[in-house]
Amino acid sequence: MRRPTVVRDPALPEAVTIYEVGPRDGLQNESSIVPLEVKAEFIDRLVAAGLPIVEATSFVHPKWVPQLADAAELVARLPLSGSTPLPVLVPNERGLDRALEAGVGHIAIFASATETFAQKNLNSSLDGQFEMFEPVVSRARDAGLDVRAYVSMCFGDQWEGDVPVDQVVSTGRRLLDLGASQLSIGDTIGVGTAAHVQALIGAFGEAGTGTDLLAMHFHDTYGQALANAHAALQCGITTFDASAGGLGGCPYAESATGNLATEDLVWMLDGLGIRHGVDLASLVGTSVWMAEILGKEPASAVVRALA
């Protein structure tokens, strides 16, 4: 398999963590229901390819995301005691109850940096979401679970337009104060550009939030995801969300297209000589397999080139 020429930039991190979101964020927007057995095999393949974290599913109400209605059955089939964390997204206390019943050790909550998206996605106000999340995070931490916080619409909102940097930082800081261990900063509609990314990371730093607490979650709507990831690397970010084959979108934001493709990210990291632990050939094979099941061409340029 073709590999990029390695040219190491000593100014960049030596290693990064790829937080694979394909099974949850990637599949949630698919209109055809993916069988339980396929989802379980998808996760098994991703773990076998060396992805260090694989987000498995979400305990959201089936009415809102029918694709994930089998969350409890799927989690029951997963090796939760294995060395690879398999987090689940929980939208509220009921979702947390289900996660606790399932025996998961890692959860994520999904917050909004804007008023409109909070209302549409969470049925809450921008300020009110923290009251909803407080008991979820508190109970989860008391039970020994790790809690990650996604922050959506950080670079632009399809209803509100530009999102002030200080508003994003304030939202993120409040989630950390609740007890989240990491913030995943989301470009939900893919409008961010490199300098914007660096400005936001810098603003978090000025507010006392270091890059060790931040992850970046880019969408490729305008073809900027990989450039934005490189810009974040230059700021010292070492955790990146990505989705095998570039699967994904957001069911609550029509303009949100696919996530940063894991293979595209891996190819860039390989060329930069940055360690990540993922076997590219195995990952490409997995994405080709899933694309055939879904009946669609992979969004990942690297998958298309190598397959």
What is the set of active-site residues? 250
Cβ atoms of 113 and 167 closer than 8 Å? yes
Distance of CA 147 to the CA centre of its chain: 14
Query: What's the token pair of residue 84?
Result: 């690879």
* Ramachandran region, residue 278 (left: φ > 0; alpha: ψ -120 to 50; beta: rest): beta
Cβ atoms of 244 and 23 closer than 8 Å? no
Residue type, 44: D
List C-alpha distances in Å: 267 to 75, 113, 231: 30, 31, 16
According to DSSP, residue 179 is labeled T
Query: Which residue reads 């080139």 in tokens?
Result: 305
Helices (H), 88-193: 93-102, 115-122, 128-142, 165-178
